[in-house]
Amino acid sequence: GQSLEQPSEVTAVEGAIVQINCTYQTSGFYGLSWYQQHDGGAPTFLSYNGLDGLEETGRFSSFLSRSDSYGYLLLQELQMKDSASYFCAVRDLNSGYSTLTFGKGTMLLVSP
Amino acid sequence: IAGITQAPTSQILAAGRRMTLRCTQDMRHNAMYWYRQDLGLGLRLIHYSNTAGTTGKGEVPDGYSVSRANTDDFPLTLASAVPSQTSVYFCASSDRGTGELFFGEGSRLTVL
């Protein structure tokens, strides 16, 4: 089966930088995704890493090391609106079918 | 702008009753998914479908069934609801071959 580990909660102040780590164990690994979910809302896609290295999208960056089964989401210039839950998810390819398995989520609390 | 539409948004149901959660997408995505989200457990995959006419079991399929008669619709049925099925249910879709899922707004189900 698949398993993902990420911290349950992270706190930071406005303007700071925060890193949310994710380690995973899976067979048929095909990529690591990150999603944001505000309280009461739907998860929304942030980034995807299929290959090792850093992907940057505005204030958010995501990193993957397949040899270490590890990735992280980096949020820069934190804003109050970044307070949300963040989920890493691994994409598996088994028997030609692609599914996403999610971690339990990291709640980010940004304070003034 | 539609994307994915789920119905109902909220429902209270007596144990033992049958319930179908509806999900429709207008993006012509091949793959569709049903997840349940419970506090502290993240998003867990119930069932998925990679293309019309095919379905597969996810991590927590017991007590649920799905069908995929066409590309747009992916209903989730609880044949005989139990209190442990109280949860928020999210339908999602993706183009086959990507790590990006598009989620509906969720259906909050309470089984008493």
Are the C-beta atoms of A33 and B33 separated by less than 8 Å? no
Residue A87 and residue A105 in contact, taking contact as beta carbons nearer than 8 Å: yes
Q: What percent of chain B has pLDDT over 90?
A: 87
Q: Report pLDDT for A12.
A: 97
When pLDDT is averaged across residues A23-40 and rounded to a whole number, the result is 91
Q: What is the DSSP string of B10-77?
A: EEEE-TT--EEEEEEESS--SEEEEEEEETTTEEEEEEEESSTT--EE-SS-TTEEE--SSSSB--EE
Q: Are the CB atoms for A38 and A82 separated by under 8 Å?
A: no
pLDDT at B1: 61
Residue B103 contacts A where some CB pair is shorter than 8 Å:
yes
First-to-last alpha carbon distance for chain A, in angstroms, is: 41
Give the residue among B29, B28, B23, B66 at the shortest CA–CA distance from B47: B66
CB contact under 8 A, A98 and B45: no
* A42, A91, A103 member nearest B42 (Cβ): A103
CB contact under 8 A, A97 and B56: yes
- CA B67 – CA B86 distance, rounded (Å): 21
Q: Return the minimum-mean-pLDDT range out of A46-60, A95-109, B14-28, B64-78.
A: A95-109
Contact assessment for residue A104 and residue B42, using Cβ atoms and an 8 Å cutoff: yes
A-B CB pairs within 8 A amount to 59
Contacts of A89 in chain B (CB under 8 A): 43, 99
Helix count and strand count (H, E) for chain A: 0, 11
Mean pLDDT of chain A: 92
